[in-house]
Structure 1
Amino acid sequence: MSKTEVSHKATQFTRYCIDDDGDLLLRVGSELAKETPFEFKVCSAAMRRASPVWKSMLFGPWNEAKPAQGDWIVYLPEDEPWPIRVILAIAHGAFEQVPKSISLSKLDCILIPIEKYDLIHIIRPWADTWVETVKNPKSNRISELTGSEHVMRINAAWELGCEDVVSAEITEFVFNLSVTSRKETYRYYYNHQQIEFDTHFGPCDLVEIVTELRLSLIQALLDFYHEVVKSRIPSESACLRSGWNLANERQLCDAVVLGGIWRYSKGSMPEILPEKATEYRESANELMRTLSNMFAGLPTLNVFHEGCSPAKKYSDFEEKTRQDERWKNVLRPHHKERMATQRKKTGL
């Protein structure tokens, strides 16, 4: 295959021949600043057979249809050349140009135009191998993925129909996503790294679902915390010691616990915990760590009041909360239906 530099309308394209007998020049990536744009010589019939979107684009009443005279040139200015080249190789039967193994980032790049042009069915021979990349990125070290890689993973899993991965990633975001807002503009962070959710790729309601579940989880944790505080006020002692002559001791027990909470809040927290989840910006896991450290380090009045500490009660509550089915059964019927359709197309 030959490569030569050609110029068209002040843009330099690297020429790449997919089909020597091709009748169409596909110019890709001219609007991507970090990419070298390519011109692919391809067979329009192969593209038509591969994609219903391409069929409509090339053989419908659109500007991309074959001109009455002159070269047939079609522009895909916003698409990245490398994934388009791989897709064109598949469509033209040049399977030796298709990678057998692939990184998560490269797979994500390929699946974006595959979704855009409705091409998922053509990757059937590679589906099993590529799904393994989604299920086991970085040699099973899921915990080492960055926030951006988690976004790539859920997007790829969504396109390939991996329900277990999509579900696990939604749960991961529910527990680990932090949020800031300014003038109704929200920014999302994973382990303090800002991430962006692609509204055109992956589950369209991902942000809404994660936000809803995250707020529910955080609200449950905040409710526990404020219940502990309120239970220590003079009229509602939470001290477990009982007896007609222990009223003062019970008050002292509550005061010691409240004092410990106040001291921890002033010394180890940037701000007092709010009552509403919408006012809490950190992740649910960060809130769990805060509450666990706070309650575990609380002083007690004496050895007879060790059971009055909320530490054990919180530990049990956190474990039960983590296992709550609300954060595990996160997929809606329309999610499962769509991913089942994807698996049918790829033969998974």
Structure 2
Amino acid sequence: MLYGEFEERKKPRPGGGNFERTEWTIKLPEDNPTALALLLNIVHGRFDVVPSYEDLLYIRDLYNVSVVTDKYDMTHILQPWARGWMRSTLCSTELTGGSLREQYCQERLWISWELGDRANFEEIAKVLLLTSCLSIRDTNSLRCAGVFEPPEIYDIIEQTRLDTIKALLAPFDNTIQGLITKDATLCRKHTKKKNYTDYCLPSMLGIGIQSLHSMGLWPIPQPAEVSWSVSVLSEKLKDVKIENKGHTDVDHGRAHKCSLGPALQLEIEKVLNSIPSLLTEGHERHLESQAKKSGLSIT
């Protein structure tokens, strides 16, 4: 940068010849001065002013360092410190509770990307998928202005979030439609000889619609209209009751009660457990390459 064709190079004299022998000031307004100073202390061997391997770096400080190492291709100089700093910084706060901003999830994701920590990268990406709201009015949104973004990952999270919400809502939509059309298979007591659908299915339909309405889910919304996070939506759906209150079996005098809750609970768990990996092959190659530079791949 200083001696090539970049803007920061030393300018030659107007008439040609050698570079001017005056004070040479380089302005790097985009670089965080504290992070740049730390990296310059490392390359100049001033280790007495560099935080040690076991020192705790604040998440924002390590994020600023990772931005500069990415810009100047200096990841490799962090090899003696990267593992320790990652452990002390990213494990200093649990990834549960609080908003995404309170946990600096976007900064954590970038740090993991730059230093090649695949396990943390995948974990934080999954947290963002499950807990982001994607609402303009919500401070718990997915993206954070001013924080560097690994390529493609946020688009993948947004699409996977939408697909997951669609999959969560589908069983409830199908169940309601089945109750409306009097699908006899939804009544566990129904047989060819005994038809309970005339009172069982309407009862489940009414209670189901009331329960969905109480959760803010009636009419069942389109996936793109859901502002809640995947985690909040799944908890709301788990509380939805689609059942009847119990009707008397006219032939045997026994109470007949149906509940579709257990089956729908299994569907919710199935969807949450089958969320696909958010990493592309390009992500995996980059993380592997960065891990070699930072030393995280060395066991």
TM-score range, shorter chain: 0.7 to 0.9
The one-letter amino acid of 1:283's match is S
Name the structure 1 match of 2:271: 321
Superposition map of 1:103-252 within 5 A: 103-138=58-93, 141-144=94-97, 146-148=99-101, 149-180=104-135, 187=136, 193-194=140-141, 196-197=143-144, 201-237=148-184, 238-243=186-191, 246-247=194-195, 249-252=196-199
- One-letter identity of the residue aligned with 1:91: V
Partners of 1:234 and 1:271 in 2: CA distance: 18
For residues 194 and 115 of structure 1, what CA distance do their matches in structure 2 show? 25
**CA 1:284 to 1:194, structure 2 compared with 1: closer, same or farther past 3 Å?**
closer
Q: Could you say which residue in structure 1 is the equivalent of 2:250?
A: none
Amino acid at match of 2:267: F
Give the TM-score normalised by the residue count of structure 1: 0.73
CA distance in 2, matches of 1:255, 1:241: 14
Write the mapping of 1:327-342 to structure 2, written as runs, cut at 5 A. Answer: 329-342=277-290
* Structure 1, unaligned runs of 5 or more: 1-56, 181-186
Task: Confirm whether residue 62 of structure 1 aligns to residue 6 of structure 2.
Answer: yes
- Alignment CA distance shift 1:299-1:94 (3 Å): farther
- For residue 280 of structure 1, the aligned residue among 213, 226, 233 is 226
C-alpha spacing 1:175/1:62, structure 2 compared with 1 (3 Å)? closer
Q: Which has the higher contact order (CA 8 A, sep 6+)?
A: 2
The AA in structure 2 aligned to 1:143 is T
Contact 2:134–2:142 under 8 Å retained in 1: no
> What's the secondary structure of 1:193's corresponding residue?
coil
Gaps of 5+ in 2: 12-18, 248-253
Q: CA offset at residue 199 of structure 1?
A: 8.2
Rounded Cα–Cα distance in structure 2 between residues aligned with 1:89 and 1:250: 78
1:163 to 1:74, Cα distance in 2 relative to 1, 3 A: same
CA distance in structure 2 between the partners assigned to 1:82 and 1:117 by the alignment? 15
The residue type paired with residue 301 of structure 1 is G
Aligned pair count?
A: 276
Distance 1:135 1:80 in 2: 20
Q: Does 1:309 align with 2:262?
A: no
Q: Output the aligned Cα RMSD.
A: 2.3
User: 1:246, CA displacement in angstroms?
Assistant: 4.1
Q: CA 1:334 to 1:195, structure 2 compared with 1: closer, same or farther past 3 Å?
A: closer
Kindly provide the amino acid, as one letter, of the partner of residue 278 in structure 1.
Answer: A
Q: Taking structure 2 as the reference length, what is the TM-score of the superposition?
A: 0.84
Contact 1:90/1:122 (CA < 8 Å) preserved in 2?
yes
- Could you tell me which amino acid in structure 1 is paired with residue 274 of structure 2? D
Structure 2: how far apart are the matches of 1:71 and 1:265? 72
